[in-house]
Amino acid sequence: MDQRIKKLAKLFIEHSCRIKKNESVIISADIDAKPLVFELYKRVLLKGAYPSITWGVDKQAWIYYKYASQTQLKNFPKIAMYQMKNADVVIYISATQDKKELADIKPEKITLRQKITKKISDERLKKRWLIFVYPTEAYAKDAGLSLKQFTNFVFNSSLINWTSLIKKMKRLQKVLNKGNKVRIIGKDTDLRFSIKGRKAILGSGEYNMPDGEVFTSPVESTVDGHIKFTYPRYVFGKKVENIFLKFKKGKLIEVKASKNLDKLKALLNTDKGAKSFGEFAFGMNPKINSYSSELLFDEKMNKTIHFALGNAYKECNGKNKSDVHLDIVKDMHKGKIYIDSKLIYEDGKFKI
């Protein structure tokens, strides 16, 4: 076994999930993540807690969406809800071999199922939970790396000096919590909004791994201006590229993309809240410095910002509600960010 898997499992148990004796722990994982799953299973047992494993396999989701009837799509999974309600900790590990598995599935089927299962997602947010991407050939290929290179990338961005990074993120958190008006200026971008009354939260490795972001929620009605995002985003199994959004008094008035715009528009039509920003964040992980085509890493990329269309986090005092939460990332090696007319960030460097 790669010794870094043991270190990673220890990080999950001790730092991220803080598992205690007698707790119920669900490990929901794709089958190719077996080495990490078994190490986690062992460590949970050694803590005196009660682990259970739920396995996923490639093509399972495709088969479901391909053949499930409307009645089946609308059926609420009571057993899954029972498990979630009775869990203390939930660990999700993705190890897909096909990131485009659902590319030929009608988006309406997926959004319908998401609405039906939203109560389970909401219940999960009440727990301690963690999401991780285990290295596979599919992830490596999308990132333009060999499997060995991508594996090193995953471990290096997770097994970092968390104490040092948290200290840096807290400085930004303090500035955001005192701030009101935000202005972002960059390539094809001039966006303004308020964060007054909203709370900035640290992504310090407790819910995502790797992590490394500071996020808050814009006041929905204050978003004005336009922004063009640097990096593509998968929507319903298709890459949407060069996303451009324009707002006026909080309302989305223009949407553009150079590729698969129809997929993005389909997602935006999920509900009213999908057309508003629910999150604004800074990516700050020092070991993530290149685009990988996997959001878990890309939204933590150093010297970037990202926004999420859709649902806002309650812990940020966000008000926007939606079944959607679509994060989109913008490079900020060149650009400026002001809070209350004070320059806090310029060309990839903080001024605080």
Q: Which of 158, 183, 202 is the last residue of a domain?
A: 158
Domain edge (last residue) among 158, 183, 208: 158
**Does residue 180 sit in the same domain as residue 139?**
no
Q: What is the pTM of this model?
A: 0.88
E strands along the chain, which residues? 24-30, 50-56, 89-94, 128-133, 181-186, 189-194, 201-203, 208-209, 213-216, 224-228, 233-235, 238-240, 244-248, 251-256, 277-283, 304-310, 325-331, 336-339, 342-346, 349-350
Q: What are phi and psi of 37, to 5 degrees?
A: -60, -45
Do 154 and 204 fall within a single domain? no
- Distance, CA of 244 to chain centre: 20
Tell me the residue type at 63: I
127 and 251 co-located in one domain: no
- Could you give the number of structural domains in the chain? 2
Residues 228 and 153 both lie in one domain: no
Q: Which residues of the chain have pLDDT under 50?
A: none
pLDDT in tens, 141-159: 999 999 999 999 999 999 9
Task: Give the range of the structural domain holding residue 271, as residue numbers without chain letter.
Answer: 175-350
Same domain, 218 and 319: yes
Q: Which of 158, 192, 226 is the last residue of a domain?
A: 158
Q: Are residues 152 and 185 in the same domain?
A: no
Q: Are residues 122 and 151 in the same domain?
A: yes
Q: Check residue 253 and give its pLDDT.
A: 97
| Shared domain check, 37 and 99 | yes
Residue 146, domain CATH: 3.40.1830.10
Shared domain check, 345 and 210: yes
> CB pairs under 8 A, 24+ apart, for 204-207?
204/162, 204/165, 204/166, 204/169, 205/11, 205/15, 205/16, 205/158, 205/162, 206/15, 206/16, 206/17, 206/128, 206/130, 207/16, 207/129, 207/130, 207/131
Residue 173 is predicted with a pLDDT of 98
Spatial distance between the Cα atoms of 141 and 298, rounded to a whole number of angstroms: 15
Question: Is residue 102 domain-shared with residue 185, that is, in the same domain?
Answer: no
254: helix, strand or coil: strand
Token representation of residue 276: 């508003």
Q: Tell me, what's the pLDDT at 116? A: 96
Do 197 and 322 lie in a common domain? yes
Whole-angstrom Cα distance, residue 216 to residue 197?
Answer: 10
Q: What is the pLDDT of residue 165?
A: 97
Domain check: are 219 and 149 in the same one?
Answer: no
